[in-house]
Amino acid sequence: MHDPALVLDWEHRLRSDVDWEIATALGQVAAPALREAMLDSTVGGKRIRPLLTILACVAAGGRIQDALPAAAALELLHASSLVHDDIMDNADLRRGAPAIHKKYGVAMGILAGDALIAAAYRVLQNSPPERMGPILSTFSNCFLALCEGQSADIETPGDVTAESSQHRWMVERKTARLVEACTRIGALAGSGDRHVVDALGRYGFQLGLAYQAVDDVLDATGDEATTGKSVGLDARNGRRTYLTLAYPSADVHAEARLIITHHTAEAMSALDALQPSEARDRLANIALALLRRRS
């Protein structure tokens, strides 16, 4: 599978499988208007979190089908967080289209975000039964951490010196724990080897930290046509980011890039604990691609 064309074809089929899982889950929602908003909230996106979940499972020695329910559940949780985040930020765009609350109203947006979480738990119950306990525990802990991080993110900033010491705590919970959950749950679906599970969890955690730094840079320097979402929201809403609080300097963008490079290297290092495989190589390539991400 080292042929790039074969890799892309394989990942396209994985995305189709995940999309089928999501569509099946949301098709069970009885209220038509709510179902429509939920389906709309899952349209588009790179599906990077489901891909990480499945790759982690395969890298741990598991089968793709064992990770599909978790991959879909984690994407539904991610979609929920985006719906709620856009409401809190009053964002206009998401994935190149009107944000859910702009299209369906704030009340329906809140309901859709909540219902996506319920659907995620329902799908997750189709994971391998012998590892259901740790999978559900990891998912629930990630969900709570996500809420904690978002709560910290919307707090009114105070003194820069004092607030900067809390920035890492917020980033860990708002972003890194979700990416960590993807790779840890994927590994749990594929293996009972704690060493392997922990290594893939560390990879995801470090990747998540790097991802948030990239996202902060893009919010400040990107354009909506490229990113497909509203930009400049961090500055407009007075949010703490890697550019404003964590690493204040004469060249904040250069500082942020150093942070991205550091966490990417840490993610790559975590993969050293795994046996060589094409899935491990693809995880490494995903981490390296963050350094070049522009959207």
* CATH tag, 4-290: 1.10.600.10
Mean pLDDT of 192-208: 97
Phi then psi for 210, rounded to 5 degrees?
Answer: -65, -40
**What is the C-alpha to C-alpha distance for residues 233 and 211, in angstroms, rounded to an integer?**
17
Spatial separation of the C-alpha atoms in residues 53 and 67, rounded to whole Å: 7
What is the residue type of 202?
Answer: R
Min mean pLDDT across 36-50, 236-250, 254-268 is at 236-250
The CA distance from 233 to 88, in Å, is: 11
CB atoms within 10 A of CB 81: 21
Q: pLDDT above 90 covers what percent of the chain?
A: 67
Tell me the pLDDT tens digit for each residue of 210-234: 998 888 777 765 455 554 445 545 5
| DSSP single-letter state for residue 173 | I
Give the start-to-end residue ranges of the domains of the chain.
Answer: 4-290
User: Has residue 253 got a pLDDT over 90?
Assistant: no
- Residue 222's pLDDT is 47
Q: How far is CA 136 from the centre of its chain?
A: 17
Report the pLDDT value the prediction gives residue 42, as an integer from 0 to 100: 96
> DSSP character for 247?
S
The pLDDT confidence band at residue 247, using thresholds 50, 70 and 90, is low
**pLDDT of amino acid 249:** 58
Segment 8-35, tens digit of pLDDT: 677 888 999 999 999 999 999 999 999 9
Of 154 and 127, the structure prediction assigns the larger pLDDT to 127
Q: Which residues of 59-72 are buried (b: 16+ CB within 10 A; e: fewer)?
A: bbbbebebbbbbbb
